[in-house]
Amino acid sequence: MSLSLGSRQIAPPVLLAPLAGITDLPFRRLVSGFGAGLVVSEMIASGEFLTARPGTREKAELGAGIENTSVQIAGREPGPMAEAARQVADMGARVIDINMGCPAKKVTGGWSGSALMQVPDHALRLIEAVVGAVDVPVTLKTRLGWDDDHRNAADLARRAEAAGVRMVVIHGRTRCQFYKGRADWAAIREVVEAVQIPVVANGDITDAASARQALAQSGAAGVMVGRGAQGAPWRLAEIAAALYGAPPVHIPEGRAFCDMVADHYEAMLGFYGTTLGGRVARKHLGWYMDRAGTPAALRQRLLTEKDPRAVLQLLPDALIRNRAEAA
Protein backbone atom coordinates (compact mmCIF):
# COMPACT_ATOMS: atom_id res chain seq x y z
CA MET A 1 0.00 0.00 0.00
CA SER A 2 1.20 3.52 -0.74
CA LEU A 3 0.24 7.18 -0.64
CA SER A 4 0.09 9.11 -3.88
CA LEU A 5 1.54 12.64 -4.01
CA GLY A 6 0.79 13.19 -7.66
CA SER A 7 3.41 11.13 -9.50
CA ARG A 8 5.36 10.37 -6.32
CA GLN A 9 4.44 7.29 -4.30
CA ILE A 10 5.09 7.01 -0.56
CA ALA A 11 5.37 3.36 0.42
CA PRO A 12 4.82 2.15 3.03
CA PRO A 13 2.49 4.94 4.31
CA VAL A 14 4.40 5.23 7.59
CA LEU A 15 6.18 8.57 7.98
CA LEU A 16 8.72 9.98 10.42
CA ALA A 17 7.56 13.23 12.03
CA PRO A 18 9.79 16.30 12.11
CA LEU A 19 11.14 16.73 15.64
CA ALA A 20 13.36 19.70 16.45
CA GLY A 21 16.79 18.61 17.63
CA ILE A 22 16.01 14.94 16.98
CA THR A 23 15.24 14.16 13.33
CA ASP A 24 18.60 15.36 12.07
CA LEU A 25 20.37 13.72 9.15
CA PRO A 26 22.07 10.92 11.16
CA PHE A 27 18.77 9.89 12.75
CA ARG A 28 16.80 10.13 9.50
CA ARG A 29 19.37 7.92 7.78
CA LEU A 30 19.12 5.38 10.58
CA VAL A 31 15.32 5.28 10.44
CA SER A 32 15.39 5.06 6.63
CA GLY A 33 17.83 2.17 6.84
CA PHE A 34 15.26 0.09 8.70
CA GLY A 35 12.44 1.18 6.38
CA ALA A 36 10.18 4.24 6.21
CA GLY A 37 7.95 5.64 3.51
CA LEU A 38 9.03 9.24 4.14
CA VAL A 39 11.21 11.02 6.68
CA VAL A 40 10.70 14.72 7.37
CA SER A 41 13.51 17.09 8.25
CA GLU A 42 13.60 19.36 11.24
CA MET A 43 11.63 22.55 10.64
CA ILE A 44 13.50 25.31 8.81
CA ALA A 45 12.43 28.89 9.52
CA SER A 46 12.23 30.51 6.09
CA GLY A 47 13.49 33.92 7.21
CA GLU A 48 16.53 32.52 8.99
CA PHE A 49 17.20 30.18 6.10
CA LEU A 50 17.28 33.01 3.59
CA THR A 51 19.63 35.12 5.69
CA ALA A 52 21.92 32.08 6.05
CA ARG A 53 22.09 32.15 9.83
CA PRO A 54 24.68 29.52 10.89
CA GLY A 55 23.13 26.13 11.49
CA THR A 56 20.03 26.81 9.39
CA ARG A 57 21.08 26.43 5.78
CA GLU A 58 23.00 23.28 6.62
CA LYS A 59 19.82 21.55 7.74
CA ALA A 60 18.44 21.81 4.23
CA GLU A 61 21.69 21.24 2.34
CA LEU A 62 22.51 18.03 4.17
CA GLY A 63 19.89 15.48 3.23
CA ALA A 64 17.51 17.49 1.05
CA GLY A 65 18.33 15.35 -1.96
CA ILE A 66 17.92 11.98 -0.28
CA GLU A 67 15.17 10.04 -2.03
CA ASN A 68 12.58 9.64 0.72
CA THR A 69 13.18 12.96 2.49
CA SER A 70 10.71 15.82 2.85
CA VAL A 71 12.04 19.22 3.93
CA GLN A 72 9.75 21.17 6.24
CA ILE A 73 9.64 24.96 6.12
CA ALA A 74 7.85 27.48 8.32
CA GLY A 75 7.24 31.21 8.23
CA ARG A 76 4.66 33.97 8.30
CA GLU A 77 5.10 35.84 4.99
CA PRO A 78 4.39 34.48 1.49
CA GLY A 79 7.51 35.94 -0.17
CA PRO A 80 10.15 34.39 2.08
CA MET A 81 8.23 31.09 2.22
CA ALA A 82 8.12 30.90 -1.58
CA GLU A 83 11.82 31.77 -1.96
CA ALA A 84 12.84 29.26 0.73
CA ALA A 85 10.80 26.60 -1.04
CA ARG A 86 12.48 27.40 -4.37
CA GLN A 87 15.95 27.17 -2.86
CA VAL A 88 15.19 23.94 -1.04
CA ALA A 89 13.78 22.43 -4.25
CA ASP A 90 16.92 23.52 -6.12
CA MET A 91 18.97 21.65 -3.50
CA GLY A 92 17.16 18.48 -4.49
CA ALA A 93 14.21 18.20 -2.09
CA ARG A 94 11.64 15.73 -3.45
CA VAL A 95 8.82 16.96 -1.18
CA ILE A 96 8.31 20.24 0.69
CA ASP A 97 6.16 20.35 3.82
CA ILE A 98 4.59 23.50 5.27
CA ASN A 99 4.52 23.65 9.07
CA MET A 100 1.26 24.99 10.46
CA GLY A 101 1.22 22.68 13.45
CA CYS A 102 4.14 23.57 15.73
CA PRO A 103 2.74 24.67 19.12
CA ALA A 104 5.96 26.12 20.58
CA LYS A 105 5.54 29.64 21.95
CA LYS A 106 8.68 30.91 20.24
CA VAL A 107 7.15 29.83 16.92
CA THR A 108 3.53 30.85 17.44
CA GLY A 109 4.64 34.12 19.04
CA GLY A 110 6.06 35.07 15.65
CA TRP A 111 2.83 34.10 13.90
CA SER A 112 4.23 30.91 12.42
CA GLY A 113 3.40 27.26 13.02
CA SER A 114 -0.04 26.58 14.46
CA ALA A 115 -0.68 30.31 15.04
CA LEU A 116 -1.53 30.47 11.33
CA MET A 117 -4.64 28.39 11.99
CA GLN A 118 -6.07 31.50 13.64
CA VAL A 119 -5.80 33.43 10.36
CA PRO A 120 -6.81 30.93 7.65
CA ASP A 121 -6.97 33.54 4.86
CA HIS A 122 -3.35 34.48 5.52
CA ALA A 123 -2.40 30.81 5.91
CA LEU A 124 -3.86 30.16 2.47
CA ARG A 125 -1.74 32.93 0.95
CA LEU A 126 1.38 31.20 2.29
CA ILE A 127 0.22 27.87 0.90
CA GLU A 128 -0.51 29.35 -2.52
CA ALA A 129 2.89 31.05 -2.59
CA VAL A 130 4.79 27.85 -1.83
CA VAL A 131 2.78 25.68 -4.24
CA GLY A 132 3.25 28.26 -6.97
CA ALA A 133 7.00 28.48 -6.41
CA VAL A 134 7.97 24.83 -6.95
CA ASP A 135 7.28 21.83 -9.14
CA VAL A 136 7.73 19.22 -6.39
CA PRO A 137 4.78 18.04 -4.25
CA VAL A 138 3.85 20.31 -1.36
CA THR A 139 2.28 18.90 1.81
CA LEU A 140 0.81 20.55 4.89
CA LYS A 141 1.02 19.66 8.58
CA THR A 142 -1.51 21.14 11.04
CA ARG A 143 -3.26 20.47 14.29
CA LEU A 144 -7.03 20.16 14.77
CA GLY A 145 -7.19 23.90 15.37
CA TRP A 146 -6.00 26.59 17.74
CA ASP A 147 -8.28 25.49 20.60
CA ASP A 148 -11.45 23.48 21.15
CA ASP A 149 -13.63 26.43 20.11
CA HIS A 150 -11.78 26.84 16.82
CA ARG A 151 -11.26 23.41 15.26
CA ASN A 152 -10.85 24.42 11.63
CA ALA A 153 -8.48 21.74 10.31
CA ALA A 154 -11.06 20.36 7.88
CA ASP A 155 -11.79 23.77 6.35
CA LEU A 156 -8.10 24.63 6.06
CA ALA A 157 -7.37 21.23 4.50
CA ARG A 158 -10.15 21.74 1.96
CA ARG A 159 -8.76 25.12 0.96
CA ALA A 160 -5.20 23.78 0.88
CA GLU A 161 -6.27 20.97 -1.45
CA ALA A 162 -7.84 23.51 -3.81
CA ALA A 163 -4.56 25.46 -3.75
CA GLY A 164 -2.58 22.39 -4.86
CA VAL A 165 -1.40 20.74 -1.64
CA ARG A 166 -0.96 16.98 -2.22
CA MET A 167 -1.22 15.60 1.35
CA VAL A 168 -2.23 16.79 4.81
CA VAL A 169 -0.87 15.50 8.13
CA ILE A 170 -3.06 16.18 11.17
CA HIS A 171 -1.82 16.00 14.75
CA GLY A 172 -4.87 15.01 16.77
CA ARG A 173 -4.62 17.84 19.31
CA THR A 174 -5.29 21.56 19.27
CA ARG A 175 -2.44 23.98 19.71
CA CYS A 176 -3.62 24.92 23.19
CA GLN A 177 -3.37 21.28 24.26
CA PHE A 178 0.33 21.23 23.36
CA TYR A 179 1.12 17.56 24.14
CA LYS A 180 -1.28 17.11 27.07
CA GLY A 181 -4.03 14.53 27.22
CA ARG A 182 -4.49 12.08 24.38
CA ALA A 183 -4.53 12.68 20.66
CA ASP A 184 -8.10 12.63 19.30
CA TRP A 185 -7.73 10.34 16.29
CA ALA A 186 -11.49 10.22 15.72
CA ALA A 187 -11.53 13.98 15.18
CA ILE A 188 -9.19 13.55 12.21
CA ARG A 189 -11.99 11.75 10.35
CA GLU A 190 -13.67 15.08 9.64
CA VAL A 191 -10.58 16.13 7.70
CA VAL A 192 -10.43 12.80 5.85
CA GLU A 193 -14.04 13.25 4.74
CA ALA A 194 -13.46 16.86 3.67
CA VAL A 195 -10.76 16.20 1.04
CA GLN A 196 -9.75 13.80 -1.72
CA ILE A 197 -6.00 13.99 -1.06
CA PRO A 198 -4.35 11.63 1.46
CA VAL A 199 -4.66 12.51 5.13
CA VAL A 200 -2.09 11.14 7.58
CA ALA A 201 -2.81 10.73 11.30
CA ASN A 202 -0.23 11.92 13.84
CA GLY A 203 -0.05 12.07 17.64
CA ASP A 204 0.55 9.33 20.24
CA ILE A 205 1.28 6.69 17.59
CA THR A 206 4.04 4.71 19.23
CA ASP A 207 3.66 1.12 18.00
CA ALA A 208 1.64 -1.14 15.70
CA ALA A 209 -1.32 -1.35 18.10
CA SER A 210 -1.70 2.43 18.44
CA ALA A 211 -1.18 2.88 14.68
CA ARG A 212 -3.96 0.39 13.98
CA GLN A 213 -6.28 2.22 16.37
CA ALA A 214 -5.44 5.59 14.87
CA LEU A 215 -6.20 4.35 11.37
CA ALA A 216 -9.47 2.74 12.44
CA GLN A 217 -10.71 5.81 14.28
CA SER A 218 -9.55 8.42 11.76
CA GLY A 219 -9.96 6.65 8.44
CA ALA A 220 -6.57 8.15 7.51
CA ALA A 221 -4.46 6.82 4.65
CA GLY A 222 -1.31 6.51 6.75
CA VAL A 223 0.38 7.35 10.03
CA MET A 224 3.19 9.62 11.15
CA VAL A 225 5.38 8.58 14.07
CA GLY A 226 7.35 10.99 16.22
CA ARG A 227 8.28 10.28 19.81
CA GLY A 228 7.60 6.56 19.31
CA ALA A 229 10.81 6.34 17.27
CA GLN A 230 13.01 7.78 20.03
CA GLY A 231 15.40 5.04 21.05
CA ALA A 232 13.72 2.71 18.53
CA PRO A 233 14.66 3.77 14.98
CA TRP A 234 13.15 0.52 13.68
CA ARG A 235 9.66 1.49 14.94
CA LEU A 236 8.36 2.71 11.59
CA ALA A 237 9.48 -0.46 9.84
CA GLU A 238 7.89 -2.51 12.63
CA ILE A 239 4.55 -0.72 12.09
CA ALA A 240 4.83 -1.09 8.32
CA ALA A 241 5.38 -4.84 8.65
CA ALA A 242 2.43 -5.30 11.01
CA LEU A 243 -0.07 -3.12 9.15
CA TYR A 244 0.98 -3.11 5.53
CA GLY A 245 2.76 -6.41 4.96
CA ALA A 246 6.21 -4.86 4.58
CA PRO A 247 9.15 -7.22 5.16
CA PRO A 248 9.65 -8.18 8.83
CA VAL A 249 12.17 -5.98 10.59
CA HIS A 250 15.09 -7.43 12.51
CA ILE A 251 15.26 -5.54 15.80
CA PRO A 252 18.88 -5.50 16.96
CA GLU A 253 19.62 -6.98 20.35
CA GLY A 254 22.75 -7.52 22.40
CA ARG A 255 25.94 -6.87 20.48
CA ALA A 256 24.02 -5.85 17.33
CA PHE A 257 22.11 -3.21 19.32
CA CYS A 258 25.35 -1.90 20.83
CA ASP A 259 26.98 -1.71 17.40
CA MET A 260 23.99 0.20 16.00
CA VAL A 261 24.15 2.73 18.83
CA ALA A 262 27.92 3.12 18.40
CA ASP A 263 27.47 3.76 14.67
CA HIS A 264 24.72 6.33 15.39
CA TYR A 265 26.94 8.04 17.98
CA GLU A 266 29.87 8.27 15.58
CA ALA A 267 27.57 9.55 12.81
CA MET A 268 26.44 12.39 15.09
CA LEU A 269 30.05 13.28 15.91
CA GLY A 270 30.89 13.32 12.22
CA PHE A 271 27.86 15.46 11.38
CA TYR A 272 28.13 18.07 14.14
CA GLY A 273 31.75 17.84 15.23
CA THR A 274 32.96 16.31 18.47
CA THR A 275 31.83 18.96 20.96
CA LEU A 276 28.33 19.71 19.65
CA GLY A 277 27.84 16.12 18.50
CA GLY A 278 28.59 14.84 21.97
CA ARG A 279 25.91 17.10 23.44
CA VAL A 280 23.31 16.24 20.80
CA ALA A 281 24.01 12.53 21.26
CA ARG A 282 23.15 12.52 24.96
CA LYS A 283 19.38 12.43 24.49
CA HIS A 284 19.65 9.57 22.00
CA LEU A 285 22.01 7.65 24.27
CA GLY A 286 19.58 8.22 27.13
CA TRP A 287 16.70 6.72 25.14
CA TYR A 288 18.83 3.75 24.13
CA MET A 289 19.78 3.17 27.77
CA ASP A 290 16.11 3.42 28.78
CA ARG A 291 15.48 0.48 26.47
CA ALA A 292 18.47 -1.45 27.81
CA GLY A 293 17.69 -0.84 31.48
CA THR A 294 21.13 0.60 32.17
CA PRO A 295 21.94 0.99 35.89
CA ALA A 296 21.65 4.61 37.06
CA ALA A 297 25.30 5.06 38.02
CA LEU A 298 26.57 3.76 34.70
CA ARG A 299 24.00 5.84 32.85
CA GLN A 300 25.17 8.99 34.62
CA ARG A 301 28.80 8.19 33.92
CA LEU A 302 28.19 7.67 30.22
CA LEU A 303 26.07 10.80 29.81
CA THR A 304 28.66 13.02 31.49
CA GLU A 305 31.66 11.54 29.69
CA LYS A 306 33.08 13.97 27.10
CA ASP A 307 35.78 11.79 25.54
CA PRO A 308 34.22 9.92 22.57
CA ARG A 309 36.66 7.04 22.96
CA ALA A 310 35.57 6.56 26.56
CA VAL A 311 31.89 6.71 25.57
CA LEU A 312 32.41 3.98 22.98
CA GLN A 313 34.23 1.84 25.54
CA LEU A 314 31.34 2.22 28.00
CA LEU A 315 28.57 1.34 25.55
CA PRO A 316 28.82 -2.47 25.82
CA ASP A 317 28.53 -2.38 29.62
CA ALA A 318 25.66 0.11 29.37
CA LEU A 319 23.64 -1.61 26.65
CA ILE A 320 24.30 -5.35 26.78
CA ARG A 321 22.63 -6.99 29.75
CA ASN A 322 23.36 -10.58 28.69
CA ARG A 323 27.10 -10.93 29.12
CA ALA A 324 27.26 -13.86 26.71
CA GLU A 325 26.20 -11.46 23.95
CA ALA A 326 28.99 -9.05 24.84
CA ALA A 327 31.73 -11.42 23.78
Q: Transcribe 21-34 into DSSP letters.
A: TTS-HHHHHHHHHH
Residue 183 reports pLDDT greater than 90: yes
Separation between Cα atoms, residue 13 and residue 74, nearest integer Å: 24
Same domain, 176 and 283: no
Residue 30 reports pLDDT greater than 70: yes
Residue 55 reports pLDDT greater than 60: no
Same domain, 240 and 259: no
- Region 169-180: what's the mean pLDDT? 91
Residue 195 reports pLDDT greater than 80: yes
Q: Is 87 annotated as a binding residue?
A: no
For residue 151, give the DSSP letter.
-
Same domain, 272 and 220: no
Q: How confident is the model at residue 60 (pLDDT cuts 50, 70, 90)?
A: low
Same domain, 234 and 262: no
Same domain, 88 and 142: yes
Mean of the per-residue pLDDT values of the chain: 92
Choose one of 212, 244, 276: the last residue of a domain: 244
The reported pTM is 0.93
Separation between Cα atoms, residue 90 and residue 73, nearest integer Å: 14
pLDDT of 59: 56
Q: Is 141 annotated as a binding residue?
A: yes
Same domain, 199 and 274: no
- Region 230-236: what's the mean pLDDT? 97
Are 70 and 45 in contact, with CB atoms under 8 Å apart? no
pLDDT of 20: 87
| Per-residue pLDDT tens over the stretch 276-295 | 999 999 999 999 999 999 99
| Enzyme catalytic residues | 102
Please state the domain count of the chain. 2
Same domain, 231 and 259: no
Q: Is 171 annotated as a binding residue?
A: yes
Choose one of 244, 265, 292: the last residue of a domain: 244
Q: Is 72 annotated as a binding residue?
A: yes
Q: Is 122 annotated as a binding residue?
A: no
Closest CA to 141 of 165, 111, 125: 165
Same domain, 214 and 280: no
Q: How confident is the model at residue 141 (pLDDT cuts 50, 70, 90)?
A: very high
Is 80 domain-assigned?
Answer: yes
